[in-house]
Copies of this chain bind each other. A is one copy, B any other.
């Protein structure tokens, strides 16, 4: 086990009809900017629940944050924050709205030339503008971590940011919100959370027995509840386990003391930036090829995963590892998620070279848990994923 530090101060408020607790979490004298996405919260009743809970608070609204939160849109929100002297942010949405809110939390207190620096110069935020969240889509784990990913259409870039000052003060998780989520988004959420765990687990054995088992617990639970979540989102037991699994998949706990990969995300982000493919689906496209390409260095963990998640008992380590990759791909297919780039676009030729060059240009020459994944290897993996 590697040395580690862990601190996660976010207060989770989990369960049925918990949105009303907003009124005790946000200071009565706050001037709040309520941030949301495309407006689905106005149809599914969540907006009304939020407004009712905040009856006595000064709230200004900013809707329209798109999936893959867009820098240009966020700059408009930043102007509202400054013009209106906002001092508290409330994200009501999924990972995109929450990530966008984290950017705003950082940008609101940033004193440099341009907030774009936060993304390109790896500016860590030690204390941002305080914010809370009401999660409407289980998937990214953003509701209980301090990281975010922001997209800039102008340059077709998708960049990460974070810092210890960007944990939500609180996050309200009412599993009932999933009843109004389209099946496609639910499948994305399941895939996203599943792949988040894989990024922190599918590396090499390091004797972190408890972390491995926690990671496997999340994978097992997602596999167990996935059919019920897709079939009947009103199944509260399935919904609550789905929601809590998504949060635990990326709140920092399972990555502590172990090597992590994250190359699947690095490659996947480019597919979203280039083709607009849903984030989760890009992960399902990249992961199988990534594991096949890096088979030798990952085969012990792949086999352990095969045994513990997919109950594979036959064969040697290699056999189990190969079968585990096949089972993973089959699981994505069962969720209705395609795992080849050509399923999503006819314009895939040249993508591998393009992404490889971007990584070279950014100096990303050593990705993955061994820091040996070069742009040349990235090119091969993406071609395998065509």
Known contacts A7-B12, A9-B7, A11-B7: A213-B221 contact under CB 8 Å: yes
Known contacts A3-B16, A11-B6, A15-B2: A213-B208 contact under CB 8 Å: no
A132 to chain B, nearest CB (A): 12
Given A1-B241, A5-B13, A214-B214, output 9 extra A-B contacts at Cβ < 8 Å.
A1-B15, A1-B240, A3-B18, A7-B10, A15-B257, A209-B225, A210-B217, A210-B248, A211-B244
From B16, B18, B241, give the contact of A209 (CB < 8 A). Answer: B241
Contact A14 B256 (CB under 8 A): yes
Contact A1 B245 (CB under 8 A): no
CA distance A262 to B172 in the complex (A): 28
CA distance A214 to B6 in the complex (A): 18
* Residue of B whose beta carbon sits closest to that of A220: B213
Contact B12 A237 (CB under 8 A): no
A91 to chain B, nearest CB (A): 18
Contact A208 B1 (CB under 8 A): no
Question: What 1/0 flags go to A1-40 for Cβ under 8 Å of B?
Answer: 1111111111111111010000000000000000000000
One complex includes copies of this chain to the number of 2
* Residue of B whose beta carbon sits closest to that of A175: B1
Contact A14 B5 (CB under 8 A): yes
CA distance A213 to B213 in the complex (A): 8
Residues 208-245 (chain A) with a chain B CB within 8 angstroms: 208-211, 213-214, 216-218, 220-221, 224-225, 236-237, 240-241, 244-245
Contact A210 B7 (CB under 8 A): no
A16 to chain B, nearest CB (A): 6
A63 to chain B, nearest CB (A): 28
